[in-house]
Amino acid sequence: MFLFQKMGSGFGADRKRYYFSLGLKDTASPLIATGIWGFVTGIAMMKSSLGENFAALMTLMVYAGSAQLTSLPLINSQSPLWLIFVAGMIVNVRFIIFSAALQPFFRHLAWYKRLVLGYVTTDMSFVLFMSRCGKEKRRAQSHHLWYFLGLIIPNWVVWQTCSFIGIFAGRLVPESWGIEYAAILALLALLVPLIKTRPFLVCLLVSGVVAWVGQLLPLRMGLGAAVVAGLIAGVVAEQLQHKRET
């Protein structure tokens, strides 16, 4: 990431290198699901009315699988541009919450660097980062940045690579293979091991129920409602658990 300082040499560089490597290690397993999901998204864009070139441009500029998949039916039906943007924003409303949670860790960075971090932030990188660093009392430390870079850089590379493969070579995959189900199974395989605490389980159950109930809402508003409801339920469950422990 050319916008950020180089590691340099000495003890400080060793510390940065350690946390960057730690991020690479933590994100290694999720990269399998990221690659499959990117490949499936690439195939979906290739089959839409976008065409290969615009699909490639979209995956580079948007870098948000849920928003990309949500916008495709609207693009195919030639819906108004404002409606496509609104649908994408509704699906990605969770990133406003993610950004608010990450702000204390990166508030010391220049605005354009924070803008880059916001672009490359993903659901899994947020979960992994908060799981390891979320409870630290000292914020805005250099190791936070390098650990986060270790999480997000490989995700971006794998997603873009697999998306491009899906866009330009996806037509070679028979539809009978049902590869979209492989993406769902891969995401579930990553999600289940993360269920280690009661608040996380409550968050998952509430968001799942709300998403199921709201699946008939337009513009996939049920997904946005599920994210908000799950986060609120998780925070409340964590506070109740903390009160019981104290």
What residue spans define the domains of the chain?
11-194, 196-246
Distance CA 43, CA 41 (A): 5
Contact 189, 68 (CB under 8 A): no
Residue with the bigger pLDDT between 216 and 98: it is 98
Contact yes or no for 153/13 (Cβ under 8 A): no
Q: Cβ contacts of residue 133 below 8 Å, gap of 6+?
A: 105, 144, 147
Per-residue model confidence (pLDDT) at position 230:
82
Tell me what pLDDT residue 186 has: 63
> Does residue 34 or residue 185 have the better pLDDT?
34
- Give pLDDT, residue 91: 81
How far apart, in Å, do the first and last CA atoms of the chain sit?
Answer: 43
d(CA 206, CA 57): 36
Dump pLDDT digits (tens) for 210-221. Answer: 888 888 777 667
| Among 33-37, 152-156, 205-209, 210-214, the range of highest mean pLDDT | 152-156
Query: Rounded to whole angstroms, what are the CA distances from 80 to 69, 71, 220, 222?
Result: 16, 11, 17, 21
Which of 83-92, 125-134, 215-224 is least confident?
215-224
Residue 151 pLDDT level (bands cut at 50, 70, 90): very high
pLDDT over threshold 70, residue 8: no
Distance separating alpha carbons of residues 63 and 160, to the nearest angstrom? 8
Give the span between the Cα atoms of 157 and 162, in whole angstroms. Answer: 9
pLDDT value, residue 138: 80
Tens-place pLDDT, residues 155-203? 999 999 999 999 998 777 766 666 666 666 666 666 666 677 787 788 8
What is the reported pLDDT for 145?
93
Mean pLDDT computed over every residue of the chain: 83
Long-range contacts of 112-115 (CB under 8 A, 24+ apart): 112/3, 113/3, 113/4
Please tell me the predicted confidence (pLDDT) of residue 179.
Answer: 60
Q: Which residue has the higher pLDDT, 234 or 145?
A: 145
Alpha-carbon distance of 237 to 239, in angstroms, equals 5
Other CB atoms within a 10 A radius of the CB of residue 13 amount to 12
**pLDDT-above-90 percentage for the chain:** 27
* More confident of the two residues 216 and 68: 68
In this predicted model, which residue has the larger pLDDT, 193 or 63?
Answer: 63
Most confident listed range (14-28, 123-137, 146-160, 198-212): 146-160
Based on its alpha-carbon atoms, the radius of gyration of the chain, rounded to whole angstroms, reads: 19
How far apart, in whole angstroms, are the C-alpha atoms of residue 130 and residue 132?
5
